Amino acid sequence: MVKVPSVPMSSGRHLPLLGLGTWLANNEAELDAAVRAALDCGYRYIDTAFVYKNEHVIGAVVKEYIDAGKFKREDIFITTKLPMYGHAHAAEYIQKSLKNLQTDYVDLYLIHIPIPFQREEGNDAPKAVDGVFVPDLSVPYIETWKVLEKHYNEGKLKAIGVSNFNEEQLQDLYNKATVKPHNIQVETHILHPQKRLFALAKKLKMTFTAYSPMGSPGRLASPLIAGGDIDIAPLKEPLVLRLAQKYNKTTAQILIRQTIQRGMSAIPKSTNPTRVRENFDVLNFELTAADMAEFDKITVNERIFLFDFAKNHPWHPWKSDLRRRLGINVDAATGNTINGHTKSTCRCTRKR
């Protein structure tokens, strides 16, 4: 079986450079088949989150394989994440994820997003008033981080990190943290290469995970956050099409390979067993230095996911993109829109 390369983490563990993403994998039968296909062909890294509502499916299949002696628990790497309505209840959600995944520890646990919301009473969902999620400004992310640090020191979380933080937020957390973050996970692809954030992560000795390395083509089949319908299609880029022909590979394989060669961990999502296997078939070829340099010539730098469900949150990580793309200017202290814009509602709970 082909062994996936990995990069060392400052926690002492190693992060595989290729894993199975499971965002939007809500059909339990399809996800079950996809996870089995992944494990059978050699994946040993699975990424999930509490808000994906699929941890229990992953946990059941992994436990079955471990019980059958196909591999040991230490042979597989599992990442999950704290929901945006769980910042004030982090210990509770860590325990829920451990139970769902049927494991004593999680290999990597992330704060899913730096914008906490109040929780709806009696429900695992953000509280909303008139269709607008209610921010929870009582829990700065450093306070949530302290809970992760406690569970890391207890061994329940083998590494801890963040997702969807901007550069300033990441540096701020790093400066304040006792246990420094081990990983950051963000949208990254050839049309949004995250060069500055990646450089900062390397400076801080953090590993880097790229979600949506293919530009999340499946997003168009689901209700969209504003900006999610932007015309971004890495799979159709002329350079990618040319390299796919050169190497006799799919365009998806070219994009995954490019991500891995940058030193990032790629977690492409699919519930199609054939595509799951195809996405894994990237370890038997290598892009040349000249090929990689061609990607650096691409001038487009546009994120897909704006998280407009949190457009009025004062801690939104990408305020400049909200202004440029949606014309929304948010006061950093209050969350009120300014410059004549008015608060708008968002009934979309979709998030990455």
Angle of helix 28-41 relative to helix 273-280, nearest 10 degrees, comes to 30
3-state secondary structure string, 285-347?
CCCCHHHHHHHCCCCCCCCCCCCHHHCCCCCCCCHHHHHHHHCCCECCCCCCECCCCCCCCCC
Does the annotation place 14 within a ligand binding site? no
- Four-residue CA torsion sign, 139, 140, 144, 146: negative
Q: Of 43, 45, 52, 93, which is the active-site residue? A: 52
C-alpha distance from residue 64 to each of 57, 68, 307 (Å):
11, 6, 36
* Residue 85 bears catalytic tag: no
**H or E segment and range at residue 52:** none
C-alpha distance from residue 81 to each of 78, 161, 193, 291, 334 (Å):
10, 9, 23, 34, 27
* Active site members: 52
Q: Which residues are annotated as a binding site for substrate?
A: 112
